[in-house]
Amino acid sequence: MTDSQLPSNGPDNTTDPLPSTPASAQSTQSATKPKRSWYKKKRFLIPIAAFLIIGWLGSLGGDNPDLVGSAKPTATATEAPLTAAEIAEEEAAVAAQAEKDAADAAEKVAQEAAAAEAAAAEAAAVAEAAAAAAAEEAARGTVSQQNALRSGASYLDYSAFSRSGLVGQLEFEGFSTEDATWAVDRVIVDWNVQAAASAKSYLEYTSFSRSGLVDQLVFEGFTAEQAEYGVSQTGL
Q: Which residues of the chain fall below pLDDT 50?
A: 1-19, 21-28, 30-32, 67-68
138-156 confidence digits (pLDDT tens): 778 899 999 999 999 999 9
**Structural domain boundaries in the chain:** 86-140, 141-188, 190-235
If one counts every other C-beta atom within 10 angstroms of the C-beta of residue 76, the result is 5
Looking at domain 190-235, its CATH class is mainly alpha
What pLDDT score does 86 carry?
Answer: 85
Angstrom distance (rounded) from CA 74 to CA 30: 59
Residues 6 or more apart whose CB falls under 8 angstroms from that of 208 comprise 202, 216, 236
159-185 confidence digits (pLDDT tens): 999 999 999 999 999 999 999 999 999
Angstrom distance (rounded) from CA 210 to CA 170: 30
26-46 confidence digits (pLDDT tens): 444 544 455 555 555 555 666
Angstrom distance (rounded) from CA 201 to CA 181: 25
CA-CA-CA-CA torsion for 46, 47, 49, 52, nearest 10 degrees? 170
Asked if 148 and 180 count as a contact pair (C-beta separation under 8 A), the reply is yes
Q: How far is CA 146 from CA 137, 150, 167, 168, in A?
A: 12, 6, 14, 17
What pLDDT score does 15 carry?
Answer: 47
Angstrom distance (rounded) from CA 32 to CA 30: 5
Angstrom distance (rounded) from CA 126 to CA 177: 33
Q: Is the pTM of this model over 0.75?
A: no
What pLDDT score does 137 carry?
Answer: 79
